[in-house]
């Protein structure tokens, strides 16, 4: 069992930030704060200039990281710095362009050497992912895939056969971003996917409050992923690091407390 699968037995709270936002040094300190506050898995976005799946909050974080000089080399350096004080599972969320430009074999090899546990390539469909799936197995990295409410049962079986770590269930249509409510259809979506695979299921997109995390866990998910709400705290406190870290710690602690209220009932 991989570290990601072990963490998802919890259930897991998965905290997302963009690597290098607002600068590489502070990005490491943010990661430490999220870990200290109880995050079970850390998801680091590889900053990209044209992220089609991300809403304005994460797009601005990508811009800040790129303006601070963050490159793929920097991302791997950030992972190594986190590894110096934590063995938390680390997932990279990227688009295919950075992988292609570096060369897939080199990207996966260096990710493994840095201490990455999983990679999700947001714009790479499973039908075109044979090369990276082979590389993920060669280097002992979980290849994570997105599943939407529109994913057909036939395609879901293909994704489950190639995936490792967990399946990333996209709770809403559209791009990333905090939303006031989670969809009423979410429990049925989780149940439908659960019937097709024994892999852990983690729900993301729109998850932002303790009630959301509790509802996701009660609906049968193995993890809840929160990104935009975390990034918003960073954005609001760019020139006030103590306030930023205090806000991140308090917010993350409130979410990790709620994930324990898992039951078999629907929200």
How many whole angstroms separate alpha carbon 198 and alpha carbon 192? 12
Q: Are 198 and 191 in contact (CB under 8 A)?
A: no
Among candidate residues 4, 7, 45, 84, the one with its CA nearest the CA of residue 234: 45
* Cβ neighbours for 106, distance < 8 A, ≥ 6 positions apart: none
Active site residues: 43, 54
Q: Which structure tokens are listed for 86?
A: 């934590």
Asked, as a colleague might, if the bond just before 11 is cis with ω within 30 of 0, I would say yes
How many whole angstroms separate alpha carbon 112 and alpha carbon 140? 7
> What's the length of the chain?
267
């Amino acid at each position: 069992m991989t570290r990601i699968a072990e963490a998802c037995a919890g259930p897991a709270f998965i905290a997302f930030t963009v690597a290098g936002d607002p600068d590489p040094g502070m990005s490491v300190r943010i990661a430490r704060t999220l870990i200290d506050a109880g995050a079970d898995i850390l998801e680091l976005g590889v900053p990209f200039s044209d992220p089609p799946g991300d809403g304005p909050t994460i797009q601005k974080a990508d811009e800040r990281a790129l303006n601070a000089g963050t490159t793929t080399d920097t991302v791997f350096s950030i992972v190594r710095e986190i590894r110096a004080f934590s063995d938390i599972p680390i997932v990279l969320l990227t688009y295919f362009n950075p992988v292609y430009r570096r060369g897939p074999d080199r990207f996966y090899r260096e990710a493994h050497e840095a201490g990455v546990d999983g990679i999700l390539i947001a714009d790479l469909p499973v039908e075109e992912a044979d090369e990276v799936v082979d590389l993920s197995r060669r280097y002992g990295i979980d290849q994570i895939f997105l599943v939407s409410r529109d994913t057909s049962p036939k395609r879901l079986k293909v994704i489950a056969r190639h995936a490792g770590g967990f399946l990333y269930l996209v709770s809403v249509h559209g791009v990333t971003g905090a939303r006031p409510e989670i969809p009423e259809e979410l429990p049925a979506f989780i149940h439908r996917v659960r019937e097709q695979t024994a892999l852990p299921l983690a729900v993301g997109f729109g998850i932002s409050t303790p009630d959301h995390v509790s509802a996701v866990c009660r609906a049968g998910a193995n993890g809840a992923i929160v990104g935009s709400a975390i990034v918003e705290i960073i954005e609001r406190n760019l020139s006030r690091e103590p306030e930023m870290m205090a806000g991140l710690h308090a917010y993350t602690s409130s979410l990790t407390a709620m994930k324990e209220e898992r039951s078999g009932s629907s929200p």
